[in-house]
Structure 1
């Protein structure tokens, strides 16, 4: 299995937007776009407009991570219209609309991701796990980059992998939060497949993004040697 990497674009240098996206197009597997509404989390970040501009130069899928209290009001459709390939939502905010939301996203031709906060139990996905394409385990509380890694989440990742195998499911496993030199090995050992890399894992490694990517890959290979065969 080949691990995948998803740069978190809230951490990129927006003054070098086209240059950095063109650099990542040939290296990354998908783009991670955080959209926060200031209510679900006390922060505001990117937007459907950002996705629209990104889609003009991106050559890989765009994953819209919706950290919003009411994503169904307009964000889901707006992100899909803007060019998102994957819509990732937090199950707590859609409640009774969850199955309708999943069906709606798929009807519009997008994949569905479910994101679990550290305090959200894995068991919440059991009724609908067969319908999703990606499961994201957050290893920090949502809302801000640069938070300390929550080691308690490593077992949650391993549990998700076991659950997937036991149920014969096919969703991919992804981690969001502090994917870097200090955590790559334990995340890989737990069974993670897609690593969302932000400032500590990618963008902060060098002022030149090509060099930063090479450093990230070298670190990852060293930390995970023998795990991905």
Structure 2
């Protein structure tokens, strides 16, 4: 049973209301990439965008912080009612236990993001605190990159560790989630797929048609798909 999380940095902002109103009927999360031009050399969405989005949806929002000082964003995101705050492991270390307590006190979820070259050993000591682990299958910062298949080894390992330690985190994949990769991602153990240009928004000029195509592609890729 895989969940769907559109990456809104890939949407057509000129059709914001139309696309959000349609997606509200069928998705599980919205993935918001917040970039500051420093951690990655790109700048995209912001807490201001989330504030506008909240006026149009009740779908849970996952804020992916690709910024040099992610901890400074946490209070603002909690005030905005963001459901999941996802921070790259390199920046979460040294803050994980304290931050987990704060986020859980607000009834929200803590996530960690693993770049393709980030070892799992970096997060082993606080796996039990995590609600969502995002495995990047591209380098962070830009849409449309080549799929890094080696990252799926992390997904398989996380699935095994979760079962062995009886943990409850969900495994999310970010990067090149599309018709060519759905089956291998789900087989590896993905619970949530972040869909961007190739998996959703560039499938058709109509968001309704794009969603229909996406559903058909997912259904063709696996029988382990949720009922939409």
Number of aligned positions between the proteins: 226
Q: CA deviation at 1:113?
A: 0.8
TM-score by length of 2: 0.96
Task: State the partner residue of 2:40.
Answer: 41
Task: State the partner residue of 2:4.
Answer: 5
The runs of 5 or more residues in structure 2 that have no matched partner are: none
Any runs of at least 4 consecutive aligned residues in structure 1 with deviations exceeding 6 A, and if so which? none
Tell me how large the CA RMSD over aligned residues is: 1.2
The runs of 5 or more residues in structure 1 that have no matched partner are: none
Task: State the partner residue of 1:79.
Answer: 77
- Looking at structure 2, the residues matched to 87 and 94 of structure 1 have their Cα atoms a distance apart, in angstroms, of 11
After superposition, give the CA deviation of every residue in 1:176-221 in whole Å (9 maximum; x if it has no partner). Answer: 0000011001001111110000000000001110110010010111
- Looking at structure 2, the residues matched to 176 and 51 of structure 1 have their Cα atoms a distance apart, in angstroms, of 19
Task: State the partner residue of 1:196.
Answer: 194
Counterpart among 83, 92, 95 of residue 94 in structure 1: 92
Task: State the partner residue of 1:219.
Answer: 217
Q: CA deviation at 1:228?
A: 4.9
Q: CA deviation at 1:81?
A: 1.6
3-state DSSP class of the match of 1:128?
helix
3-state DSSP class of the match of 2:71?
coil
Counterpart among 142, 152, 155 of residue 154 in structure 1: 152
- Looking at structure 1, the residues matched to 213 and 25 of structure 2 have their Cα atoms a distance apart, in angstroms, of 16
Q: CA deviation at 1:109?
A: 2.6
The 5 A counterparts of 1:92-171 are: 92-171=90-169
Would the alpha carbon gap of residues 146 and 68 (structure 1) be closer, same or farther in structure 2, given more than 3 Å must change?
Answer: same
